[in-house]
Amino acid sequence: MPDDITVPLGRAFTATLNRLRQAMREPLADLPVALAPPDIGLLQFLLESPGATPQCLARHQARDKAQLTRKIKALEAQGLIRREADPDDGRKVRLFLSKQGQAMAKAGEQVRRAAFTELLQGLSRREQEQLLGLLQKCQPDTE
């Protein structure tokens, strides 16, 4: 189908995401704790939503529960996350960032911002706003 734009669009999305991840890898490796690009979003979410449940985090991160459980355990072993029993329902667990986790979330966000600045440097402010608007239109309505 000659008018099918999904293939080049898919390639462009993949190439852009790979470029963003690459721009983040080296600065993240310089942090005192080993973090991967997806970890930044996870830590940032917990910084903004302290006490979130693993289920809430899995929905936000669009990751399956088993994969996320392993990641939570790894971040907990690094001293970035702590789990606490829900005071209203002892069967539930709430997640919080440690002081070090808060610092790493903030440092990781700086790395992400620098990577986006590098990625978008060839676009004007107007083009960046247009890109944002188009990407937001692709998101499901959460209201």
**High-pLDDT (> 90) share of the chain, %:** 71
With a cut of 80, say whether residue 141 has pLDDT above it: no
- Euclidean distance between CA atoms 75 and 50, whole angstroms: 15
DSSP state of 3: T
Reduce the DSSP state of residue 85 to 3 states and report it.
Answer: strand
pLDDT at 65 over 80: yes
* pLDDT confidence bin for 143, thresholds 50/70/90: very low
pLDDT at site 67: 87
Q: With cut-offs at 50, 70 and 90, classify the pLDDT of residue 19.
A: very high
- Closest C-alpha among 122, 118, 132, 120 to residue 27: 118
Going by C-alpha positions, the residue among 77, 100, 27, 23 that lies closest to residue 69 is 77
37-49 mean pLDDT: 93
Looking at per-residue confidence, does 58 or 130 come out higher?
130
Tell me the two tokens of residue 80. Answer: 């970035």
8 falls in which pLDDT band (50, 70, 90)?
very high
Tens digit of each residue's pLDDT (9 = 90 or more) over 99-131? 999 999 999 999 999 999 999 999 999 999 999
